[in-house]
A = this chain, B = another copy of it.
Amino acid sequence: MRLPNKTRAIEEAIAGIKDGDTVMVGGFGVPGTPMTLIHALVDHGAQNLTLVKNDANEPGMGIDHLLQSGQVARLITTHLGLNSNAIAQMNSGALEVEFNAQGILAERIRAGGAGLGAVLSDIGIDTELAQGKQVVEMDGKSWLVEPALRADAALIHADRADPFGNLAYVATAQNFNPLMAMAATCVIAEVETLLPLGGLEADAIHTPGIFVDHVVELGQLSEEYAVVRR
């Protein structure tokens, strides 16, 4: 037995994304944001997308490119504070935004990746964030139903990978990547370093390659990945 090879050219990896798709995008700020895959999705041109991403990056960076190109109809997120473009699009009605508590967004994505229907949570139950949510009584207590989220595609950034798609992340670039890598029908990972099979220690793999469909090796990293000097 040997493990199958999933390395692809970036255009081939991204080709299956269609108009109207839901696309999850890893990253919290710059760390873990798949900058190169995002540019490829701009070039690809799929329209009317629903994005799922923790934040909207900053103007001129990351998913802001997809907002600026008008490809995004809806954004499921936790915080837009650093992207004035995103807030302007939201306020003008050009962009529909659904806010989630950050850890609840993480759990909804993970639940999608784990084949569950929902999680029950009490986060925000007595605030306006509970409005419109289904409530379940269990053992005399009320719980909010937080439905699982799945996507047609997930764009992932990893530090290291092997050709089967086993992924390892570094530092705070992990964030939503391992969760989104479980929760999409087509999981596309851009990786800084591609190692041969066996190059990653079995116990130090964050995302088992079973979840990953396409592995794209990055060349020289663009300035967008660098330290942001504000």
Contact = CB atoms under 8 A, between A and B. Distances in A.
Copies in the complex: 2
A: contact size bracket: 20 to 34
A138 B120 contact: no
A168 interface: yes
A117 interface: yes
A119 B117 CA distance: 7
A130 interface: no
Q: Which 5 residue pairs across A and B have the least CB separation, nearest first? A: A117-B120, A118-B120, A117-B143, A204-B204, A116-B119
6 contacts: A111-B119, A118-B120, A120-B120, A134-B138, A203-B206, A204-B204
Given A138-B147, A201-B204, 18 more contacts: A107-B116, A115-B121, A116-B119, A116-B120, A117-B122, A117-B138, A117-B141, A118-B120, A118-B143, A119-B119, A120-B145, A134-B138, A136-B136, A168-B203, A171-B202, A171-B203, A174-B203, A203-B206
Interface of A: 107, 111, 114-122, 134, 136, 138-139, 141, 143, 145, 147, 168-171, 174, 201-204, 206
